[in-house]
A and B are shown apart, each in its own frame.
Chain A
């Protein structure tokens, strides 16, 4: 078997474009899924039974079915709905990722807020603080330190999981590499190139996450 690595170099601009789209997908998903997660967490912890159960149902549904199924579902089922939503592949992929990651983030935020001992709020209130002062000065600064490392880990997983939307022909890195592979039959070269690119982009992120864990992780 002869290997021809020039196929990778020849397609460098296509691959770069794919890698950029992967990054855009990751950033866009988190940009939606962080506020989405906060909203779901606030709904879940609200005193309204209705809001709380809606949020719980949402989270338990989307956290417990495979992401690839959500991707297919968004692609094939959304357009069949009475609303007749038709979205391009990129937006469909983004919707699927947001549905999934929002559910995870919601649990991250909820766990972060719940992890702060009741005594901390009482200590703040006993000083004469209002609820919102206690939230701002005491709860959020502590919860944030617990939430940030988990969000960072989710980010790294998401970066790799964006490859799943290649199944609906979103032209991100995985899809681009697979396309080149099927046109050139250079299977080993393209899969290796894909692995190297994912690794080179993912490794620094993973190291950054380690650093965040060390820097912001709560030592108690």
Chain B
């Protein structure tokens, strides 16, 4: 069913996550029907495809917010553990950014970013504040540290959410449609932060409808349809010369001209 996988450029780096024939059903609905690909260290892998094609489900299976029913997901060579206790250890090494931000509304931007280091890592408040302040500066929000989420724009909230995830110093970042809930004028500021992260060598898996971003920033693009990977390859292949006609159909639906 899948097109042949072309050789990976820069495949010298070790795989961080390997998906092997991953399956997931919700009742009678098959969300993932045997998905296989891998994410190498320092790579940006973009998952694209129509809504409901399983991209977000796969992302949520990666840190076990959803449990996959079949196949294997290996994180740094080890299958995801089944017990909740060991999963906490895995999750704190994967940062996650949600479509709807999910900042904690009863905490300031700074407190949101400190929360992981203090509660999960047991870091001292002072050290956490130092780390959080640096991260807020990195995402361009040093002056908003004491604002509550309700007093931040969508783009600002999402940048705080990225800082919150980075505060755990994760080995990789998962982005679940990070710009889909944003006003068009604030999409750019979030994408710029993500691009900067990519340039610093962060391993990233990004579910996105921002084709220009995927084209420019991704090292590898995986195209989903109906719970399966219909094509994967470097962005030049996917966007300029797709091997599968349905990839072309999907991109032309989005108005992508190449």
Contacts and interface: CB of A to CB of B under 8 A. Distances in A.
Chain A partners chain B: yes
Interface of A: 117, 119-120, 122-131, 133, 137-138, 141-142, 145, 218-220
A72 B46 CA distance: 68
B150 A220 contact: yes
B119 A133 contact: yes
Contact of A127 (B100, B105, B150, B168): B168
A145 B106 contact: yes
B78 to A, nearest CB: 16
- The range of chain B's interface size is 20 to 34
A126 B65 contact: yes
Contacts of B168: 127-128
A126 to B, nearest CB: 4
Given A142-B105, A142-B106, A219-B150, A127 B65 contact: no
Interface in B112-135: 115-116, 119-120
Q: Which of B65, B89, B92, B105 has the most CB of A within 10 A?
A: B105
A127 B106 contact: no
Interface in B171-197: none
B22 interface: no
Contact of B88 (A130, A141, A145, A218): A130
What 6 pairs across the A-B complex have the smallest Cβ distances? A128-B92, A123-B102, A126-B96, A127-B116, A128-B120, A119-B102
Given A119-B102, A220-B150, 15 more contacts: A117-B102, A122-B98, A123-B98, A125-B65, A125-B91, A127-B120, A127-B168, A128-B89, A128-B91, A128-B92, A128-B120, A129-B88, A131-B84, A137-B104, A138-B104
Given A119-B98, A119-B100, A126 B63 contact: yes
B102 A127 contact: no
B68 interface: no
A124 B106 CA distance: 13
A141 B148 CA distance: 15
A219 B96 CA distance: 25
Interface in B69-122: 84, 88-89, 91-92, 94-96, 98, 100, 102-106, 115-116, 119-120
Nearest to B60: A122
A125 B60 CA distance: 12
Nearest to A127: B116
Given A127-B92, A129-B88, A137 B63 contact: no
